[in-house]
Amino acid sequence: MAQVALENLTKVYAEKGGPGVTAVKSINLQIEDREFMVLVGPSGCGKSTTLRMIAGLEEISGGTVRIGGQVVNEVLPKDRDIAMVFQNYALYPHMSVYENMAFGLKLRKFPKADIDLRVREAAAMLGLEGLLNRKPKALSGGQRQRVALGRAIVRKPKVFLFDEPLSNLDAKMRVSTRTEISKLHARLGATMIYVTHDQVEAMTMGDRICVMKDGDIMQVAEPLDLYNHPENMFVAGFIGSPPMNFFKGTLRASGGHVSFVEDNTVAAPLTIALDEKLAGRSSGHLDRPVVFGIRPEDIHDLLTVASPDPSRTADVKVEVSEPMGAETLLYLDTGATQFVARVSPTDRFEAGQRVQVTFDLNHAQIFDAATEAALK
Do residues 147 and 71 lie in contact, with contact meaning Cβ atoms separated by under 8 Å? no
CATH code, residues 4-238: 3.40.50.300
Instruction: Work out the average pLDDT over 301-321.
Output: 90
| C-alpha separations of 63 from 179, 195, 334 in Å | 34, 20, 48
- For the chain, which residues make up each domain, given as ranges? 4-238, 245-368
H-run or E-run covering 277 = helix 276-281
Do residues 338 and 247 lie in contact, with contact meaning Cβ atoms separated by under 8 Å? no
pLDDT of residue 345: 86
Residue type, 109: K
Phi, psi (deg, nearest 5) at residue 283: -60, -30
Residue 171 to residue 176: CA distance in whole angstroms: 9
Residue 215 to residue 328: CA distance in whole angstroms: 36
Q: Which of 77, 72, 87 minimizes the C-alpha distance to 55?
A: 77
Q: Report the predicted TM-score, pTM, of the whole model to 2 decimal places.
A: 0.89
Of the listed ranges 23-37, 114-128, 164-178, the one predicted with least confidence: 164-178
Digit-coded pLDDT (tens) for 192-233: 999 999 999 999 999 999 999 999 999 999 999 999 999 999
Asked whether the predicted pLDDT for residue 181 surpasses 90, the reply is no
Select 245-368's CATH number: 3.40.50.1000, 2.40.50.140, 2.40.240.10, 3.10.20.90: 2.40.50.140
Counting residues of the chain whose pLDDT is more than 70, the rounded percentage is 100
Asked whether the predicted pLDDT for residue 67 surpasses 90, the reply is yes
pLDDT of residue 166: 84
Q: What angle do CA 139, 141, 326 make, to 5 degrees?
A: 135
